[in-house]
């Protein structure tokens, strides 16, 4: 039986959330169990959604993920 790794499961969960239509998305530590490359993919996808006008709330302790997003923007604010 083939099973997904914990990182693959996390990536699938975030991808599933991103492909569904939304105006507001809340992600709780979306970077968990992801390598740097996959974390960058998530950051880029989230940035595209913000640029299209969606509101995205990210709860994260990852300095790398947070570094991809400005301190504030029209649709969000970063709090450390």
Q: Cα dist. 61→16, 29, 76 in Å?
A: 22, 7, 17
pLDDT at site 68: 65
In a domain, 58, yes or no: yes
Token pair belonging to 53? 């006008």
In a domain, 1, yes or no: no
pLDDT surpasses 70 at 1 = no
Per-residue model confidence as pLDDT tens digits over 38-79: 988 988 898 899 888 888 888 888 777 776 665 544 445 555
Where does residue 32 fall: left (phi above 0), alpha (psi -120 to 50 degrees), or beta otherwise? beta
pLDDT at site 8: 92
């Amino acid at each position: 039986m083939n099973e997904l790794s914990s990182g693959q499961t996390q990536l699938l969960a975030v991808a599933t959330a991103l492909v569904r239509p939304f105006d507001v998305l809340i992600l709780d530590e979306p970077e968990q169990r992801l390598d740097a490359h996959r974390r960058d993919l998530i950051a880029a996808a989230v940035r595209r959604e913000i640029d299209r006008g969606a509101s995205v709330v990210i709860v994260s302790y990852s300095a790398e993920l947070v570094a991809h997003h400005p301190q504030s923007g029209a649709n969000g604010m970063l709090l450390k």
